[in-house]
């Protein structure tokens, strides 16, 4: 059964995760299915000093107001339904007791002591994105099983050139997604659980 206790961590403590645990998490996530078992992604893990350097460089860029961009096709327009879900999320976070913490936490990359970057080819198909997404969710679930908190966030990939430089990632690979990993602090922001839309809004069954 899927672990429904998982939810995003937005402030991590500075405790490092054991390297063996991180490797185990990524290895378990490799059980994710993919098109003909193609596994069409790579993962780059920043820990310790490298994660710190990335967080600090992002904060510098952010404070300079440097424009961010993605290396994959960004969402152009959401459907009305997705728009409504996003609005619901925005209202919930804006009305929550932790509302003041979202901006600063995002700006500090959640103090994540480890960041896993998932790359796919820049000209990848939507099926590759499906496979990389399945792998990403498997990372979240495996981490939860190991008592490690996570957050997948656009914030980690907003300055992709920096990630290319750090890991010498070839130019034909896109920095697709970033996942922060670490141990959650007691901050209230880590109790934020937005819930999900009603099942019958996304599921149609015909007997
Ligand atoms: C592709 C993607 C991008 C996200 N980007 C951000 C982000 O930049 N900042 C943030 O606070 N949360 C981000 N999130 C986390 C979502 O807000 C969160 O997963 C969603 O609200 C559901 O909450 P839960 O993960 O706690 O269940 C992102 C999630 C995904 C999958």
- 120 within a domain of the structure (yes/no): yes
- Ligand 1 geometric centre to CA of 145 (Å): 19
Residue 7 in contact with ligand 1 by CB distance below 6 A: yes
Whole-number Cα distances in Å, 22 to 71, 114, 151:
26, 9, 15
Tell whether 11 is covered by a domain: no
* Residue 206 domain flag: no
In this structure, are residues 182 and 149 in contact, taking their beta carbons and an 8 Å threshold? yes
Q: Establish if 200 belongs to a structural domain.
A: no
Walk along the chain (207 residues) and give the pLDDT tens digit of each residue.
Answer: 778 889 999 999 999 999 999 999 999 999 999 999 999 999 999 999 999 999 999 999 988 989 998 998 877 788 999 999 999 898 888 888 888 888 899 999 999 999 999 999 999 999 999 999 999 999 999 999 999 999 999 999 999 999 999 999 999 999 999 999 999 999 999 999 999 999 999 999 999
The total number of structural domains that make up the chain: 1
Q: 4 lies in a domain? A: no
CA dihedral sign of residues 134, 168, 52, 58: negative
Return the pLDDT at 95.
Answer: 85
The answer, yes or no, to whether any atom of ligand 1 lies below 6 A from the CB of 197, is: no
Question: Counting atoms of ligand 1 from 1, which one is nearest the CA of 194?
Answer: 23
**Ligand 1 centre from 207 Cα, in Å?**
34
Residue 10 forms part of a structural domain: no
Q: Is 194 in the pocket of ligand 1 (CB under 6 A)?
A: yes
We report the CATH number of the domain holding residue 49 as 3.40.109.10
CA 7 to centroid of ligand 1, rounded, Å = 9
Integer Rg of the chain from CA:
17
| C-alpha–C-alpha distance, residues 135 and 40, integer Å | 10
Residue 78 in contact with ligand 1 by CB distance below 6 A: no
Q: Which long-range contacts (CB under 8 A, 24 or more apart) does 6-9 make?
A: 6/140, 6/141, 6/144, 6/150, 7/192, 7/193, 8/150, 8/151, 8/152, 8/153, 8/192, 9/110, 9/149, 9/150, 9/151, 9/180, 9/182, 9/184, 9/190
The CB of 155 under 6 Å from ligand 1? The reply is: yes
State how far the alpha carbon of 198 is from the alpha carbons of 16, 65, 135, 201, 204, in Å: 38, 38, 25, 6, 12
Ligand 1 centre from 206 Cα, in Å?
32
Give the pLDDT of residue 164. 98
pLDDT score of 1: 73
pLDDT at 206 (0 to 100): 97
Let me know how long the chain is: 207
Find the distance separating the first CA and the last CA of the chain, reported in whole Å.
25
Phi, psi of 177 (to 5 degrees): -155, 155
Substitution site in 154, 156, 192 for ligand 1 pocket (most atoms within 8 Å of beta carbon) = 154
- Answer yes or no: is 205 within a domain: no
- Give the domain extent around 94: 19-192
Residue 44, in any domain of the structure:
yes
């Amino acid at each position: 059964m899927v672990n429904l206790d998982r939810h995003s961590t937005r402030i991590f403590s500075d405790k490092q995760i054991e390297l063996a645990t991180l490797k185990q998490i990524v290895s378990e996530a490799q059980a994710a299915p993919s098109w003909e078992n193609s596994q069409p992604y790579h993962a780059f893990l920043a820990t310790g000093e490298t994660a710190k350097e990335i967080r600090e460089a992002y904060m510098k860029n952010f404070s300079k107001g440097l424009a961010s961009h993605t290396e994959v096709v960004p969402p152009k327009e959401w459907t009305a339904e997705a728009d409504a879900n996003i609005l619901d999320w925005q209202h919930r976070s804006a009305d929550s007791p932790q509302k003041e913490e979202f901006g600063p936490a995002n700006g500090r990359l959640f103090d994540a002591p480890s960041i896993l970057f998932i790359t796919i080819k820049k000209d990848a198909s939507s099926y590759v994105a499906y496979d990389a997404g399945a792998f990403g969710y498997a990372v979240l679930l495996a981490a939860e099983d190991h008592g490690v908190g996570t957050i997948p966030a656009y914030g980690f990939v907003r300055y992709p050139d920096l990630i290319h430089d750090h890991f010498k990632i070839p130019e034909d690979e896109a920095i697709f997604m970033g996942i922060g990993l670490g141990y959650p602090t007691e901050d209230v922001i880590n109790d934020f659980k937005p819930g999900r839309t009603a099942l019958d809004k996304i599921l149609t069954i015909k007997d």
